[in-house]
Amino acid sequence: MKASVTKGLGQGFVVEEVDLADPVGHEVRVKVQASGLCHSDLSVATFIGGEFPVVLGHEVAGVVVGVGPEVTQVRVGEHVVGSLIQYCGACVNCLGGRTHICLDPEHTLRAPGQAPRISWNGSPVAQGMGLGGFAQEALIHENQLAVVPDEMPWAPAALIGCGVLTGAGAVLNSAGVQQGETVVVIGAGGVGMNAVSGARIAGAEKVIVTDIEDGKLERAKAFGATHVVNSRTTDPVEAVRGITGNGADHVFDFVGARPVTAQGMQMLAKGGGLYLIGVSANDAGVDVNAIAALSASQKVQGVYMGSSNLKRDIPFYASMYLQGRMNLDDLVSREIGLADIEAGYESLKDGSTARVVITDFS
């Protein structure tokens, strides 16, 4: 089968003929129908690094074409969406319902010593995040897959696995936003837009979005922002205080730069929470003054993958989309072929492009 292989740091994405093993144990063979281009795969390929050669791609949707002998949760022919959340299902955190902080995430991968899932010219190829969606087919542990209705279109389905779980989950799971509350979303990118959708589903009264580009703020309105603030031209703290009166109940930071996060802290109402999701520098973070925070009962929380339970949340977001209650169509700016990943990432630099999705694997 064809897969886009990243052979080393800075060596891009090259389509090669590779071999995929037969499914064993809890593995599921998926014929990939859509694969989203998320920034973190580009970061791995260009400066973070890891195991090479590797097949990246972690926003993946497709049809089940084969199952290992121990698979019980999906069947051949079903439509599935993958997620990079790896969990064992047996540790104390999993048993407590918090699979996103599983203590044994390697459980969904093949053990060292087992034959590799992917090989190229007889040598092993690593599989990005247990998924490897930049390929015609992928071999994925059933714990990393959720079933979605057949009528769910492929491109928006693929985006649910990372950007949607993270953005909407931060609002609905991590913060537990209640109806009537006020939400601020800092950073109107592909993930932040799903926080806006989540806030709408939660029944937030005011959903204020800040960004430094007017085009992104215009798009935010199409997702349900009630107020937008260009923080390059307007002081965002004053603007949020003006709109809310008492400050915001929840502030979600999708940017992750110290001055921006500090502004987020200043936007909080009494009892408010600041949620750290984006990171744009190694020193990202915020100073918390204990006296100010305790007297106003405020909290700061780090958020991984929207505290999501993928088996529950992926079908839920698919259902919200199919009911017309969640905008995923405006996230899919462009559909491309498997050989065009580099050009696809290049086009993401254009502010008008939200997400690019591979839908042609021929």
The reply on whether position 187 binds ligand NAD by CB under 6 A is yes
In the chain, at which residue ranges do the beta strands (DSSP E only) sit?
A: 2-5, 14-17, 19-20, 27-36, 54-55, 59-67, 79-82, 118-120, 123-127, 137-141, 145-148, 182-186, 206-211, 227-230, 248-253, 268-276, 299-302, 332-337, 355-360
Taking CB under 6 A as the binding criterion, the range among 9-17, 115-123, 253-261, 312-320 that sits at the site for ligand NAD is 253-261
Give me the helix-helix angle, 236-244 and 258-266, nearest 10°.
Answer: 20
Q: Please confirm whether the linkage preceding 53 is cis (ω < 30° from 0).
A: yes
Taking CB under 6 A as the binding criterion, the range among 46-54, 133-141, 188-196, 325-333 that sits at the site for ligand NAD is 188-196
The reply on whether position 160 binds Zn ion by CB under 5 A is no
Binding mask 23-52 for ligand NAD (x = CB under 6 A): ----------------xx------------
Give me the helix-helix angle, 214-223 and 192-202, nearest 10°.
Answer: 30
90: buried, middle or exposed (CB in 10 Å: 19+, 13-18, 0-12)?
Answer: exposed
Token pair recorded at residue 68: 């290992």
CB within 8 Å of 8: residues ≥ 6 apart = 52, 53
Q: Which does 94 bind (CB under 5 to 8 A by kind): Zn ion, ligand NAD, none?
A: Zn ion
Closest residue to ligand NAD in the complex (CB): 189
Binding mask 281-320 for ligand NAD (x = CB under 6 A): ----------------------xxx---------------
| Contact positions with Zn ion (CB under 5 A) in 74-103 | 87-88, 91, 94, 102
Residues in the chain: 362
- Whole-number Å distance between alpha carbons of 136 and 103: 31
Q: Which does 304 bind (CB under 5 to 8 A by kind): ligand NAD, Zn ion, none?
A: ligand NAD
CB nearer to ligand NAD: pick between 11 and 280: 280
The answer to whether residues 56 and 89 touch, using CB atoms and an 8 Å cutoff, is no
Q: Which does 31 bind (CB under 5 to 8 A by kind): Zn ion, ligand NAD, none?
A: none
Selected from 53, 82, 105, 190, the binder of ligand NAD by CB under 6 A is 190
CB of 94 to Zn ion, least distance (A): 3
SS3 of residue 277 by DSSP: coil
| Contact positions with Zn ion (CB under 5 A) in 31-60 | 38, 40
For residue 265, the cross-strand partners are none
CB nearer to Zn ion: pick between 162 and 341: 162
Q: Give how many residues touch ligand NAD by CB under 6 A.
A: 28
CB of 53 to ligand NAD, least distance (A): 24
CB within 8 Å of 347: residues ≥ 6 apart = 334, 353, 356
Q: Which does 231 bind (CB under 5 to 8 A by kind): Zn ion, ligand NAD, none?
A: ligand NAD
CB nearer to ligand NAD: pick between 31 and 258: 258
Token pair recorded at residue 84: 């990079």
Q: Which does 260 bind (CB under 5 to 8 A by kind): ligand NAD, Zn ion, none?
A: ligand NAD
| Side chain identity at residue 313, one-letter code | D
The reply on whether position 159 binds Zn ion by CB under 5 A is no
Q: Residue numbers of the site for ligand NAD (CB under 6 A)? A: 39-40, 162, 166, 186-192, 210-213, 216, 231, 254-256, 260, 277-280, 303-305
